[in-house]
Structure 1
């Protein structure tokens, strides 16, 4: 699905399920990783995750973002916790959550440092070994392994 097809699809879903036109822009945002879509309050545009565009749950994601869109433009409760949002989302049978496509399951890297006494220190962030020393014995640290 390309940008033009996405725009037409969102317009069609808006008319079919909400009986209101979608007059702003809908486009794919490749920076979205774990969310299905996003409604932008500043310009009323909709952004969608391109990896979820081919999933069967994509219609529910579009409905979810259109619920935000139409409620915000009608000055009603458009946030997830608002009763207006929950009511309209269940009425149009939109999805509450985006499906998990496996992008959340990345393991953090582990850096292992060792001092001269043999004390091991495991970290997720790199530290400056010229500035920091072992907290147990005060000896200088040395980077040993980086595991992903």
Structure 2
């Protein structure tokens, strides 16, 4: 879908569900990572994450557009356009927009842990992405000493644990 097709889709959804025209610009923004879209207060434009269309389809994109159009129309009408405002919540439920969007890209994948800290007393395990000095920390459960293990190659890094 191109930006022009997106503009047409947003204008159609605005007229169909809100009964008001969308007079500003809608476009894809590939730099959006953790959000499905955003309404820009200063320019009244709407930016959408193209990964939602690619990974979840047009139905998910339409629900995100409805969400952003709720911000748009309420802001222009001078009503409560923020997520916590009652006006926004009522309008969102009336048009059937989504409150939250699905995860996309790396945000939906499990983390790849490289290290594990284990308590010597109670056996509690803590997985970590980054290496750390276990001598500076204690177990959160029993306050025991920690031992560092590398998960990548299966070797024990007990020499670094202050033994």
- Please give the TM-score of this superposition, normalised by the length of structure 1: 0.72
* TM-aligned CA deviation for residue 100 of structure 1: 2.0
Change (3 A) 1:124 1:45: same
**1:62 corresponds to 2:65:** yes
Name the structure with the higher helix share.
Answer: 2
Matches within 5 A, 1:46-125: 46-53=46-53, 54-106=57-109
Change (3 A) 1:126 1:43: farther
* TM-aligned CA deviation for residue 55 of structure 1: 3.6
Instruction: Give the equivalent residue in structure 1 for 2:42.
Output: 42
Instruction: Give the equivalent residue in structure 2 for 1:19.
Output: 19
1:27 aligned counterpart, secondary structure: strand
The answer to whether the 8 Å contact 2:51/2:105 transfers is no
Q: How many residues align?
A: 134
Instruction: Give the equivalent residue in structure 2 for 1:130.
Output: none
Partners of 1:55 and 1:68 in 2: how far apart? Answer: 20
- Structure 1 unaligned spans of 5+: 113-121, 128-133, 137-143
- Structure 2 unaligned spans of 5+: 116-126, 138-149, 154-163
Partners of 1:15 and 1:135 in 2: how far apart? Answer: 61
The answer to whether the 8 Å contact 1:109/1:146 transfers is no
Partners of 1:76 and 1:23 in 2: how far apart? Answer: 18
Partners of 1:145 and 1:105 in 2: how far apart? Answer: 22
The answer to whether the 8 Å contact 2:27/2:48 transfers is yes
Of structures 1 and 2, the one with the larger relative CO (CA 8 A, separation 6+) is 1
- Please give the TM-score of this superposition, normalised by the length of structure 2: 0.66
